[in-house]
Chain A
Amino acid sequence: MSENLQEQEVIFKIKRFNPEKGFWWQEYKLKVDRFTQFTEALRRIKSEQDPTLSYRASCHMAVCGSCGMKINGEPRLACKTLVLDVVKKYNSNIVTIEPMDYFRPIKDLIVDWDEFYDRMFKVKPRLYPSKEVLEGKAEHRLKPEDQKELWKFAQCIWCGLCVSACPSVRIDPEFLGPAAHAKGYRFLADPRDTITEERMKILIDSSWRCTYCYQCFNVCPRDIEPVTAIKKTRSFTKLYKEKSEVAERGEKHTEAIFESILKTGKIAEAAVYLKTYGILQSLVDLIYMSKTGKLKYALVQERYVQNIDEIKKIMGGESK
């Protein structure tokens, strides 16, 4: 029986916290088997060894989003992660558990959610239907293809793991963060919603503040791909008139890339740079580059794609 269960002793190194003492590490030993989730391990540690250990968990089935934490440095849902999977992956029976990064710690593995909720509510996470629907004079229908577009982004369980892993959130208070963008796009792209202009005002500038590092894609326990929602949100920029400086520059940059590939099959760096930054900033940056001795390759003339008609064909398949 125990052979089938693969029972073994695991050492849990838990990063604890309280406001009086600050952070400290504490070790616990526990025998687990191949079915033991991290939430179950924590429950047993708390009930059998140390009632002072604090953590959040509720549904134990990756629906409520309560148990986000760092396991061996990886932002994960404790309930969705089996202890022995981590032991096997890292080839060690010592595992570390820490509170999520970025969020303010309250006690042990429990963090303050207020700021995260503020972000989520900024994107107005509900449908604003038409007056006729509210008055019962019409009904909303959603085409299957529209539902398909929204479905993935509607699956967010507000666990905060993507925000805890996001580098842009840390350095840019204007960036709403990946979870809010996934939720925001879910309504921005919903044909039943009536506040598209307002949503663009909330989302577009922020979308150009994402650095495409794919942390959110990597850590999301629901495979939502918030970065994909951000990319899709950026495509609304051309429909929005009140562009911020960040959005306007970003749009110019992307257009320059598209045009360069369409024309040559490749990115002509100098042309893209000029279009994005203008001549003055480009000259300033040239001076910086010359100081690092990196200017010698600026005049490298790359061959264009010979079969450029093929490039045009595959890039011009849909009207922009």
Chain B
Amino acid sequence: MKVAYYPGCATHGLSKDVDIATKKVAEVLGLELVEVPDWNCCGGGFLDEYDEVAHVALNLRNLSQVEKLGLNKMATPCSVCLHSHRLATYKYKEDKEIKKKVDKRLEKTSIKFDGKVSAEHIVWVLIRDVGIETIKKNVKRSLNGLKVGTYYGCQMLRPEQIMEFEQAYNPHSLADLVSATGATPVIFPTMTSCCGFPLMGSNPKAGLKLAYNVLNSAKEAGADIIVHPCSLCHLQLDSLQIKIQSEFNVKWTMPAIYVTQLLGLAFGFSPEELGIGKLAMEVLRVKGVI
């Protein structure tokens, strides 16, 4: 199966390990990821506050590139990129005023969007198109005994009427993927709360507090580690663990890995091949996974 692949800036930057693991897992599953030619940033969740029309136009440019490829699905591993593209197409279809302004901006460009492409999360593609059974068939190393907190965050779920994949208050996509690896999914009270990343640009103290709330809640629920579906949650929940320790004066860590890194482990890849971070490695060693 072939889908267009939109990595997004963070996935090709500080969260490069998300990209590495996603491509390895896709290859094992026979999922061909065709990178969107000459893709541009989706606006990172902030551009629409600065220029709503530019935000929509930029996202349509990516989708129009996919239409030129003749594909009808653009999968992304980043929840913010997913949200940005889906919100842009929703506005373009629903708001005549915005459509008029966007069309004006798109004049004399190569961009032509017919609405034939939908932005999808890589998690949705894995579940809906590849299928849990196919994933299970490729498990070479059962992760039995590992308790994995399933952290969904915000942007993959909300708004429900724009995301249209699963219930925002009762999601189970990540739990289904975790179960497929043999690990035990752990649900916890803040699994659909915000990780605080969008606050880091303005009010970092509050952003860190939200991240701490997520990690602490997963810890209290008995998770060894958490999985998440977003390149920006990755920066917030994985890269800032030590900063969170220091800010909230705690000794523990709750390593966060991207969902395809967990699948990659189950498919037999080494943590080094998947770019898994130091803190997660320690937990995986203690739990006998590696």
User: In the complex, are the beta carbons of B61 and A314 less than 8 A apart?
Assistant: yes
Segment at the B interface, from A1-9, A183-191, A287-295: A287-295
> Smallest CB-CB separation from A258: which chain B residue?
B50
Interface locus among B106-114, B135-143, B262-270: B106-114
CB–CB A314/B210 < 8 A: no
Quick one: which of A212, A266, A276, A289 has the most chain B CB within 10 A?
A212
Interface of A is mostly: helix
Of A40-48, A123-131, A249-257, the stretch lying at the interface with chain B is A249-257
Is A240 at the interface (CB under 8 A from chain B)? Answer: no
Contacts of B154 in A (CB 8 A): 212-215
Residue of A nearest to B45 (CB): A212
Docked pose: A36 CA to B106 CA in angstroms: 49
In the assembly, what is the distance between CA of A210 and CA of B49, in Å?
12
Most chain B beta carbons < 10 A, residue from A90, A210, A265, A292? A292
Whether the Cβ atoms of A89 and B106 lie closer than 8 Å is no
On whether the beta carbons of B41 and A209 are closer than 8 Å, the reply is no
**Does A232 touch B at the CB level, under 8 Å?**
yes
**Which chain B residue has the least Cβ–Cβ distance from A215?**
B158
A254 surroundings in chain B (CB, below 8 A): 46-47, 49-50, 201
Which A residues, 278 to 294, have Cβ-Cβ distances below 8 Å to chain B? 285, 288-289, 291-294
Interface check B16, CB cutoff 8 A: yes
Query: How many residues of chain A are within 8 Å of chain B by beta carbon?
Result: 62
A227 to chain B, nearest CB (A): 9
A132 contacts B by Cβ under 8 Å:
no
A134 lies within 8 A of chain B by Cβ: no
- How many chain B residues touch A (CB < 8 A): the figure is 70
Instruction: For B198, list chain A residues within 8 Å (CB).
Output: 210-213
Does B173 interact with chain A (Cβ within 8 Å)? no
* Bound Cα distance A297, B57 (Å): 29
B109 CB, nearest partner CB in chain A, Å: 5
CB distance from B208 to the nearest CB of A (A): 10
Interface residue ranges of A227-273 to B (CB < 8 Å) = 231-232, 234-235, 246-247, 249-250, 253-255, 257-258, 260-261, 265-267, 269
Question: Which residues of chain B are within 8 angstroms of A171 by Cβ–Cβ distance?
Answer: 206, 209-210, 213
Interface window among A17-25, A114-122, A302-310: A302-310
Per a CB cutoff under 8 Å, which of B58, B201, B209, B278 touches A314? B58
Q: In the complex, which residues 142-196 of chain B have their Cβ closer than 8 Å to any Cβ of chain A?
A: 154-155, 158-160, 167-170, 193-194, 196
The smallest beta-carbon distance between B150 and chain A, in angstroms, is 16
**Which has the most chain B C-beta neighbours within 10 Å: A90, A214, A300?**
A214
16 contacts between A and B (CB under 8 A): A171-B206, A171-B209, A172-B206, A209-B206, A211-B206, A211-B207, A213-B154, A213-B198, A214-B83, A258-B50, A265-B41, A269-B9, A276-B201, A289-B239, A292-B239, A292-B277
Closest 4 pairs (CB-CB, A-B)? A250-B202, A253-B201, A293-B278, A213-B194
Which chain A residues have a beta carbon within 8 Å of chain B's beta carbons?
72-74, 89-90, 148, 167-168, 171-172, 208-215, 217-218, 231-232, 234-235, 246-247, 249-250, 253-255, 257-258, 260-261, 265-267, 269, 276, 285, 288-289, 291-294, 297-298, 300, 302, 305-307, 310-311, 313-315, 317-318, 320
